[in-house]
Structure 1
Amino acid sequence: MASKQSIQERRQVMAKAEAEGLEYIGPCPSHLGEAWIDIPLPDGQTNRTKVVWPKSSAPCPLVIYYHGGGLSRCSPDLVLAPARGFATMFSCVVACPTLNQLPDQAFPGPLRNAWEVCAWLSDAKNLNDGVLKDARVSVDPGRGFVVGGISSGGAAAAVIGTIPGAISAGFEDFVGVTPLQSIITGIFAGIPFLVTEAMLPAQYRDIFRSRDENKVADDTARLEIESRLDVHSPWFSPINLNLSEFKIARNHPPKVFIYGGQLDEFRDDSTIYAKWLSQLEGVQVRASVLEGEGHMGWLTPPWPASHTRRIKETTLDGMGWLLNLEWDRNQDLPI
């Protein structure tokens, strides 16, 4: 029987996979620019964020895309491949923040910092007068402002989508957070982790079967992360919010794209999140479960499943719908 990996060992494994992925996708293409920036946080710390932009003079939509890793490992390089893809296919500026890690930072610290980074990026002048100034490119969130991510990054995006409404409704969990300077227009939630048996509302229990049907041989990592979360907090999942508050729906981003994998232990998280969203009047939802897929998305590491045409097309279709933009299907797909 294989030994159980510590968090540090899992971090090392993923760091190696990211490094191999960077070699696989190669240097930044000539039609794009990219750079690391340090975003200031209210507690005096900074967040290391990778920004990718098209070399275009037109004002660009903004996409914030959070990496996965169970809130305990990985970096923005995990999602550099789709970030370059979005910038190429939709001429948007893409910011990939570091999703701070448990247990180094206690919950809900990683999610709170994810929000603060989003709030900083929502003020267009921070990018336009900073990293984009010499690039002669500008970002205009009014052309589209999508917050998304994969796995725990997709869950972070789902949480962020509900915070403006929860603030308006007076939820104490979000007192003191920095307000947004631009309105989020879309949420992209790929294979998110949003549900546990302990917090699941009764109306969803009959469809919560994927943990058993797709049980992994070693679920130590998931259980270890769950033990460090307050699963009843709206910082963990929007499903913990009271939908009787009208302001939540009124202030929620108007479009949400969600996908899960049929063979993923988190499959039903996507389905339940979509059903929860369907109760929000005025919110359009596109949700799908990809047949034959597990816990996988378009990622940088050179795993065959993370670079299939199907996974790329699903990702581009979702982001294009959120941005109200089409992508050229006759064009070669980015790496």
Structure 2
Amino acid sequence: MALDPAVKNLIDTLNEQGLKSFEQMSIAEVREVVESFSGLQAPKADVARVVDTVYPGPGGDQAIRLYIPESETPLPVVVYIHGGGWVAGSLDVTEQPCRALASDAQVIVAAPSYRKAPEHKFPAAPEDAFAALNWVIEHAAEFGGDSTRVAVMGDSAGGNLAAVTALRARDTGGPALRAQVLIYPVIDGTARFPSREENAEGYLITTQAIDWFWEQYLATPEDAENPYASPAKAADLSGLPSTLLLLNEYEVTRDEGVDYGRRLADQGVPVQVELYEGLVHAVYWMTGAIPRSAELHSAVVEFLGKQFAD
């Protein structure tokens, strides 16, 4: 399918503005550009309560923001881990999608911050993400959550961290998860699938940019073989929670996601894979600029509704 018209318009506009590819930017520039994505978002939904607090991470306290809808009964909880190439992203730039998810799915969204590369390389981020999950489980009842109905979710590098968190929860005997939602996850540090060549340039995130983000994140090249850095390297995927994988046609990481979904299914994990034609990486955040980003949001809401139904 041809590139979605709204996506093409956005890419053309960014090119006219002279936006460099991420690998050509400084760390500060990357962070500034990622934060600017908030300008591409729809208005923020109302949520009954938003609570800013901290959770204890291995490197010290980290921020976590809770989006809590009105409810007379305990609500399911989604631990949403934001993307940004392990380098960028924040609780502020992801506030709009978190509010929308909390409102439309009637779930509590717990959005943790985590230590960023290159200042804090692997395994800092997944250590923080797992600590955040455990904190959420322990404190769920305090903010109206049901600790027996918890999912992890993330986009891009956050999808990586969500997948790693699910792996680690399985490997350590808990916490038990109902589901994982992986939105165009970056999950294979040595991937050489066809989409790396097919979509190498021209679609917001280049193959060189993906490789650059991995270089910022990993402490050594050998870390790319560690399943807690590259969850696609896990030989055993059995016992993982029900999975929703959302992938886009024109993105570098498309095929590693397709392959991960196939392997999950082959090993008995209930998995739903959705491939959106005409779309590119990062559109989940771009709700104001890319109308079809609503398709990804709706798929997440529907999937979580089924997973949390008792």
Report the TM-score when normalising by structure 2.
0.82
- Per the TM alignment, residue 96 of structure 1 is displaced from its structure 2 partner at its CA by 0.7
**Could you tell me which of 241, 248, 258 is aligned with 1:271?**
258
Contact kept in structure 2, 1:60 and 1:91, CA below 8 Å: yes
Alpha-carbon separation, structure 1, partners of 2:297 and 2:91: 18
- Per the TM alignment, residue 278 of structure 1 is displaced from its structure 2 partner at its CA by 1.6
Contact kept in structure 2, 1:296 and 1:306, CA below 8 Å: no
Alpha-carbon separation, structure 2, partners of 1:91 and 1:274: 27
> Which residue is 1:240 aligned to?
233
Contact kept in structure 2, 1:155 and 1:193, CA below 8 Å: yes
> Which residue is 2:238 aligned to?
249
> Which residue is 1:34 aligned to?
50
- Cα distance change of structure 1 residues 307 and 104 upon mapping to structure 2, 3 Å threshold: farther
> Which residue is 2:85 aligned to?
70
Alpha-carbon separation, structure 1, partners of 2:104 and 2:253: 29
**Could you tell me which of 266, 284, 297 is aligned with 1:298?**
284
**Could you tell me which of 22, 25, 29 is aligned with 2:43?**
25
> Which residue is 1:141 aligned to?
147
Contact kept in structure 1, 2:160 and 2:231, CA below 8 Å: no
**Could you tell me which of 160, 166, 171 is aligned with 1:166?**
171
Alpha-carbon separation, structure 2, partners of 1:190 and 1:321: 18
- Per the TM alignment, residue 84 of structure 1 is displaced from its structure 2 partner at its CA by 1.6
> Which residue is 2:267 aligned to?
280
Matched, 1:192 2:185: yes
- Per the TM alignment, residue 219 of structure 1 is displaced from its structure 2 partner at its CA by 4.3
**Could you tell me which of 19, 35, 44 is aligned with 1:15?**
35
- Cα distance change of structure 1 residues 310 and 234 upon mapping to structure 2, 3 Å threshold: same
Q: Mapping of 1:122-137 within 5 angstroms?
A: 122-123=137-138, 126-129=139-142, 132=143
Alpha-carbon separation, structure 2, partners of 1:78 and 1:324: 30
Alpha-carbon separation, structure 2, partners of 1:13 and 1:55: 34
Aligned length: 282
SS state at 2:250 partner: coil
Alpha-carbon separation, structure 1, partners of 2:245 and 2:123: 23
**Aligned partner letter, 2:308:** L
In structure 1, list runs of 5 or more residues that go unmatched.
133-137, 169-179, 326-335
CA RMSD of aligned residues (A): 2.4
Contact kept in structure 1, 2:65 and 2:111, CA below 8 Å: yes
Matched, 1:321 2:306: yes
Contact kept in structure 2, 1:261 and 1:296, CA below 8 Å: no
Alpha-carbon separation, structure 1, partners of 2:58 and 2:288: 37
> Which residue is 1:175 aligned to?
none
**Aligned partner letter, 2:110:** A
- Per the TM alignment, residue 215 of structure 1 is displaced from its structure 2 partner at its CA by 0.7
Alpha-carbon separation, structure 1, partners of 2:207 and 2:293: 26
| Sequence identity percentage | 22
Contact kept in structure 1, 2:258 and 2:273, CA below 8 Å: yes
**Aligned partner letter, 2:158:** G
SS state at 1:221 partner: helix
CA deviations 1:247-302 (Å, max 9, x no partner) are: x624x22x110011011111112101101212323x20001211111103432x56
> Which residue is 1:176 aligned to?
none
> Which residue is 1:259 aligned to?
246
In structure 2, list runs of 5 or more residues that go unmatched.
1-17
> Which residue is 1:157 aligned to?
162
Alpha-carbon separation, structure 1, partners of 2:246 and 2:32: 28
SS state at 1:76 partner: coil
Alpha-carbon separation, structure 1, partners of 2:288 and 2:207: 21
**Aligned partner letter, 2:267:** L
- Per the TM alignment, residue 322 of structure 1 is displaced from its structure 2 partner at its CA by 3.1
> Which residue is 1:289 aligned to?
275
Contact kept in structure 1, 2:246 and 2:296, CA below 8 Å: no
Contact kept in structure 2, 1:150 and 1:297, CA below 8 Å: no
Report the TM-score when normalising by structure 1.
0.77
- Per the TM alignment, residue 316 of structure 1 is displaced from its structure 2 partner at its CA by 2.2
Alpha-carbon separation, structure 2, partners of 1:297 and 1:2: 17
> Which residue is 1:135 aligned to?
none
More strand by percentage: 2
Matched, 1:112 2:127: yes
Alpha-carbon separation, structure 1, partners of 2:108 and 2:194: 38
